[in-house]
Amino acid sequence: MSIIYKPCGMAREYSPYALNIYIGCSHRCKYCYAPHTLQKKSEYYFGKPEPRKNLLKLLEKDLKNNKYTEQVLLSFVGDCYCDSADNGQTVREVLKMLNYYKVPVAVLSKVGKKMLRDLDIFKEFGDRITVGTTLTFLDEKKSKEWEPFASLPSERLETLKTLHDNGIKTFASFEPTIEPVESLKLIKKTLEQDSVDHYKIGKLNNYMGYDKWQDWEQYAKDCIALLRPTNKQVYYKQCLRVLAPNVEFLECECDPDRYIVKVNEENGNIQISLFDK
Ligand code: SF4
């Protein structure tokens, strides 16, 4: 069985493949679905996770047996740059191995500048990698309330800028959007600093009714008004689109695979087809 797997349901909208390095996370986001999905008690999930047993061995076996030409996301379960028992050594080894086997990769983290310790490896991937962060609140107090041990929004914005300035393709995940007004402020910030290539926009789902009192259709309209004139690459998640029935989304805004990182092999040569417009 492969350790790289195909996500399903809402997770599939994020990536055709994924790899989880740790089964746990130190960020303790209020809305975290992972303990429930994994049927683990919160006290066993939140903390400093160990890397999965034999992960590097299993990954190497998988990569020798299978060819991945579409992006593998690190990670759906946990944040691969959270505080971990191995101090992040395993994620670095995983990246080196994925690069060696020419696998296209997307990295998503809320950790901020700590992930820049692997900037040298991100650069080695060239166009086969995109690195992103989740943006939820510009307001620091709210950010701390909802994502207590993740980095502050200013640090996440700064990290995106550093990555982008270093030639790394970047993405920002606006899922969850908890308060549309905060997410819109963050979108404006990223546009001002021109630090994001691709936007993924969704909403908070099923968290104590918080999502029930927002005008999601207006949010979709406001995002479109900000982003469409910029020609940025944007994907609106289905959970948001169904709540905005009067909004006309473009075909490219509804195709989850449009902007993934992938490689095409033609005549034995690897051809990069990243982020085609
Ligand atoms: S970063 Fe993700 S996995 Fe970690 S606590 Fe937050 S929502 Fe859960």
Residue 187 falls within a domain, yes or no?
yes
Query: What is the number of alpha carbons within 13 Å of residue 78 lying toward its C-beta?
Result: 27
The 10s digit of each residue's pLDDT in 12-40 is: 998 999 999 999 999 999 999 899 989 99
Tell whether 85 is covered by a domain.
Answer: yes
DSSP per-residue string spanning 34-50: HHHHHT--HHHHBS-PP
Q: Is 163 within a domain? A: yes
In a domain, 277, yes or no: no
CATH number of the domain enclosing 137: 3.80.30.10
192: β partners: none
Distance (Å) from CA 206 to ligand 1 centroid = 16
248: domain range?
9-272
Whether 4 is in a domain gets the answer no
- For residue 226, being part of any structural domain is answered with yes
* CA 24 to centroid of ligand 1, rounded, Å: 8
* 2 in any annotated domain: no
Pocket test residue of 10, 14, 23, 29 for ligand 1, highest count of atoms within 8 A of CB? 29
Pocket test for ligand 1, best of 79, 110, 114, 207 (most atoms within 8 A of CB): 79
The predicted model gives 185-210 an average pLDDT of: 94
Higher pLDDT, 209 or 245: 245
Phi-psi region of 188 (alpha: psi -120 to 50; beta: other; left: phi over 0): alpha
Residue 32 Cβ inside 6 Å of ligand 1? The answer reads yes
Which residues, 6 or more positions from 25, have their beta carbon under 8 angstroms from its beta carbon?
A: 32, 34, 45, 46, 49, 77, 78, 79, 82
Tokens (6 digits) for 248: 């006309």
Q: Which residue has the higher pLDDT, 197 or 208?
A: 197
- Establish whether residue 79 lines the binding site of ligand 1, counting it when its CB lies within 6 angstroms of any ligand atom: yes
Determine whether the shortest distance from the Cβ of 178 to ligand 1 is under 6 A: no
Q: Is residue 197 a contact partner of residue 170, using CB atoms and an 8 Å limit?
A: yes
The residue-averaged pLDDT of 246-265 equals: 93
204 ligand 1 Cβ < 6 A: no
Nearest atom, ligand 1, residue 147 CA: 6
The predicted-structure confidence for 125-172, as pLDDT tens digits, reads as follows 999 999 999 999 999 999 999 999 999 999 999 999 999 999 999 999
Note the pLDDT of residue 266.
Answer: 57
Share of the chain above pLDDT 70, in %: 95
**How many domains would you assign to the chain?**
1
Ligand 1 pocket, 25 CB below 6 A?
Answer: yes
As a whole number, mean pLDDT of residues 96-121 equals 98
Establish if 173 belongs to a structural domain.
yes
Which distant-in-sequence residues (6+ apart) come within 8 Å of 67 by Cβ? Answer: none
With H, G, I as helix, E, B as strand and everything else as coil, classify residue 259.
coil
For CA atoms 247, 248, 250, 254, give the dihedral sign.
positive
Helix (H, G, I), strand (E, B) or coil at 188: helix
